[in-house]
Each structure stands twice: as structure tokens, then as C-alpha cells.
């Protein structure tokens, strides 16, 4: 699923560059890591989604992203690493290996060895049976060029096999050492529980369920997904944590930025501009007090409001966006600010 950009405008630059530079220098040791579910695999509260690395080429799965140079991709990954981020989220669907391969090149360029970072990727179940998972993993490992799969997820609940059959094959991959842990993505509360129970029979935990979650999409709080995840000890990995850039506030301040966007996407954002203004104004005011950006405040809410149950994977197509994402881990909102943002966004539950 798509990862967030802080802004969709190619000319926008963050106003608080001094703050972002300071965050870029944060030492990795100062960031409190969290376990992916009950696996003991420790990740930072913010990871970097690299769906944007799938741009270019002819595949329909490149999802119309710009074709970033490998030099730019490597610089983005290096910025994330320097900011303390220790894990990256990719998928087969993201360019049919293009994103995975680009990430591997970037990690090598940064001098990172396998084991120094955690790589999460996903199997695409569309029109496939569970047996395909064993065939697909060899392509995932080939594209990752020696980096192991720390977390392997079923990308969607769209396959021709049951979650029990999918988890059984995934468990086989753990046993032979092809992957370290197992997750799912976009699974309902019931389907997540079924996946958990299937793995439990094999003596393995379900590490994560990757779901859309932000101040402007809080459905997992009311549809049972978050409650079941907490009950079972499954980590929620929040994608689109900035609501397609809307929570950065740039479209509220300059609606003309929407004119260059596809009509269907522009219409979706425009519907929310007026309704979300009180929330955006609060993000802006809070950001000023903490000397951070509104996007960083929105990300900080995602990774702290539910305790340690949620981690987030914003994306980046520019270096400063990776720096900004990492910077969201360098402070913690006070309980009063967490509650205020909760109250302003409750209509999105």
C-alpha cells in the first residue's frame, strides 16, 4: 500500500531547516526501539517506506511514481539511517522487485551489512495460491542482494488460499531460515486472529498487521483491528500516516499546489480541506512550541498515542523528507497535546 510523502509538491521546502538538521544528527542509541510483536526483532518507532523507489520502468505496479535516480535513492536511505531509522518497508508489488533492488543498492552504498538493518517486504497474493509464497521468496532474496527478510507479510487478503494455508507456508520459510518473522497487511480483526492462531500452532508469533492509520484515518480503533492487535501482542505498522500529505498543512496554506495533481486525487484532498482546518491549525501551533514541523507532530501522535502498539512508515522521495521522518522520533508529545489531537480527530474513527 502507498506510503506517505510529507508534501506532494516538488518545490516545497520545509521552513524549519535548522530543526531538521539537528534531528539528522540524532544518535541511533538515543532512540528507544520496539519489538515487532513478540518476535524480539527491535525496530525504531519510525521506519522508512520505499514504495517511491518503484518509479520508472513499464510495470503497472510502478504506480506512477517519478523515476528517481539511484543516487537520489541512496541519499534518501543514508539520511534515514543517519537520523536513527533502522528498518525499511518494501514489497514485491512495488515495481516487481524494483523497489527491493533499489533499497539493497542504497544500503550497500551506505556501508550497511545484513543484520545492521531490518528489511520488511511483502508477498502479493492477487490471483495466487499459498504455494506460490515458496516460489516467490527466492525472487525477494535475489532482489535484496544478500539482505535478509526480517519481516515477510501477506500484502492483501485477496489470495485464493485461506489465511491458515498462507501462514502455514510462511512458517515453513521461517523454519528453513528464508525469513525471520511473519506479518500480514490490511487484514481484518477476524482474519488477523485466524492468522495468529494458525502460527500459534506452529509455535510462532504473528509479528505485525500493516494498516492505514493516521489522525485522518482512525478506523482501526473502531473496527476491532487495534483491539485484537493489542490483545494478541501484534504490532500495527501504520502506512499513510500523513494522509497523503494533507497533515503537513501545505495544501491548506497553498491550495494552488493541488492544481498539478490528478483530478480524482485533487478532489479527494479538496473535500477535506475545510473540515480539517482546525486540526491543521492545532498541528501548526503545537509544532511551533516544540520547534518541529506539523508533519513531525502528526507522526509523533501516531507512534505514541497507542503506547508502543503502533510504528509508522512514512515515505520519502526527497532527502529532507527522510530527515523529517527521522526527526519525528527525537521528541515526545506531552499527554495533553496527544489528547487534544485525539479530540480534534475523533470524527475520523
Residue positions annotated with a catalytic role? 94
Residue of 306, 291, 98 whose CA lies nearest to 213: 306
Nearest-10 crossing angle of helices 319-327, 294-304: 50
Q: What is the CA radius of gyration of the chain?
A: 19
Could you tell me the three cell numbers for 137? 521468496
* CB 135, CB 114: distance < 8 Å: no
Give the number of other CB atoms < 10 A from CB of residue 17: 11
Give the number of other CB atoms < 10 A from CB of residue 136: 16
Contacts of residue 120, defined as CB under 8 A and 6 or more positions apart, other chains included, come to 47, 87, 88, 89, 90, 149, 150, 151, 152, 153, 183, 208, 237
Distance CA 169, CA 278 (A): 48
Amino acid at each position: 500500500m502507498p506510503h506517505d510523502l510529507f508534501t506532494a509538491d516538488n518545490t516545497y521546502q520545509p521552513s524549519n531547516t535548522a530543526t531538521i538538521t539537528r534531528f539528522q544528527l540524532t544518535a541511533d542509541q538515543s532512540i528507544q526501539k520496539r519489538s515487532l510483536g513478540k518476535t524480539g526483532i527491535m525496530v525504531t518507532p519510525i521506519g522508512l517506506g520505499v514504495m517511491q523507489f518503484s518509479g520508472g520502468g513499464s510495470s503497472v505496479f510502478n504506480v506512477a511514481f517519478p523515476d528517481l535516480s539511484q543516487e537520489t535513492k541512496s541519499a534518501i536511505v543514508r539520511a534515514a539511517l543517519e537520523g536513527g531509522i533502522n528498518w525499511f518497508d518494501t514489497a514485491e508489488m512495488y515495481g516487481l522487485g524494483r523497489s527491493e533492488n533499489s533499497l539493497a543498492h542504497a544500503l550497500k552504498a551506505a556501508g550497511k551489512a545484513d543484520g545492521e538493518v531490518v528489511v520488511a517486504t511483502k508477498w502479493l497474493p492477487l490471483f495466487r495460491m499459498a504455494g506460490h509464497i515458496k516460489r516467490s521468496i527466492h525472487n525477494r532474496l535475489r532482489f535484496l542482494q544478500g539482505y535478509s527478510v526480517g519481516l515477510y507479510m501477506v500484502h492483501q487478503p485477496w489470495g485464493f488460499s485461506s489465511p491458515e494455508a498462507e501462514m502455514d507456508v510462511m512458517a515453513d520459510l521461517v523454519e528453513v531460515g528464508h525469513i525471520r518473522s511473519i506479518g500480514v497487511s490490511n487484514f481484518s480483526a477476524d482474519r488477523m486472529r485466524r492468522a495468529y492462531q494458525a502460527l500459534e500452532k506452529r509455535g510462532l508469533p504473528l509479528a505485525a498487521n500493516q494498516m492505514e492509520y493516521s489522525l485522518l484515518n482512525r478506523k482501526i480503533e473502531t473496527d476491532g483491528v487495534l483491539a485484537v492487535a493489542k490483545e494478541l501482542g501484534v504490532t500495527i505498522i501504520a502506512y499513510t500516516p500523513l494522509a497523503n500529505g494533507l497533515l503537513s498543512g501545505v495544501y491548506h496554506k497553498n491550495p494552488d499546489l493541488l492544481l498539478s495533481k490528478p483530478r480524482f486525487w485533487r478532489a479527494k484532498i479538496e473535500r477535506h480541506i475545510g473540515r480539517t482546518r482546525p486540526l491543521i491549525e492545532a498541528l501548526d501551533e503545537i509544532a511551533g512550541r516544540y520547534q518541529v514541523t506539523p508533519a513531525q507532530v502528526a507522526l509523533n501522535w501516531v507512534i505514541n498515542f497507542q503506547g508502543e502498539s503502533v510504528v509508522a512508515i512514512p515515505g520519502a522521495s526527497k532527502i529532507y523528507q527522510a530527515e523529517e521522518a527521522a526527526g519525528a522520533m527525537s521528541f515526545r508529545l506531552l499527554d495533553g497535546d496527544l489528547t487534544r489531537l485525539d479530540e480534534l480527530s475523533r470524527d475520523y474513527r
